[in-house]
Amino acid sequence: MSLIDGEENQTATLWKHGDISTIDKFGKYTNHTKSTFKCRWQDVNKLFINKEGKETLSRSIIYTSTIITVQDKLRKGTNTETKVTTSDWEVQRVDIEIDDDGTVDHYKVYL
């Protein structure tokens, strides 16, 4: 049983980035696949270390059992857009929360 069972009462839109061949000259992914998932979305400011090793202040933290990776894009709610927009937030960090038995319990995602 997951620690977040029953807590994933919100919906978000995930833009999953493509493989390494979809990276442009600026190091950004240009191809994303859209899906929706259940989560617990909290708009909260928390200090964390980003992938460049710099202290960063989060915009939101999302708890979910859906696999999400750094540089994916997220938006609260269901998104009707057909491609990533400026309203979608890039994932800055993902913590994998492990259960007592050593399996993945959930993901803590920083935007």
Q: Give the per-residue pLDDT at 45.
A: 96
Residue 43 lies in a domain: yes
Q: Report which of residues 103 and 22 the model is more confident about.
A: 103
Residue 59 lies in a domain: yes
Q: Give the per-residue pLDDT at 31.
A: 66
Residue 71 lies in a domain: yes
Q: What is the pTM of this model?
A: 0.83
For residue 14, the tally of other CB atoms under 10 A from its CB is 24
- Structural domain including 70 reads 10-110
Residues 48, 93, 39, 5, Cα dihedral to 10°: -80
Residue 1 lies in a domain: no
Split at pLDDT 50, 70, 90, the class of 18 is: low
The answer to whether residue 20 scores a pLDDT higher than 70 is no
Task: Report the number of distinct structural domains present in the chain.
Answer: 1
Q: Give the per-residue pLDDT at 6.
A: 75
Residue 46 lies in a domain: yes
The answer to whether residue 109 scores a pLDDT higher than 80 is yes
Residue 5 lies in a domain: no
Residue 50 lies in a domain: yes
What does the pLDDT look like over 39-97, one tens digit per residue? Answer: 999 999 999 998 889 999 999 999 999 999 998 999 999 888 877 888 889 999 999 99
Residue 3 lies in a domain: no
Closest CA to 28 of 98, 111, 84, 107: 84
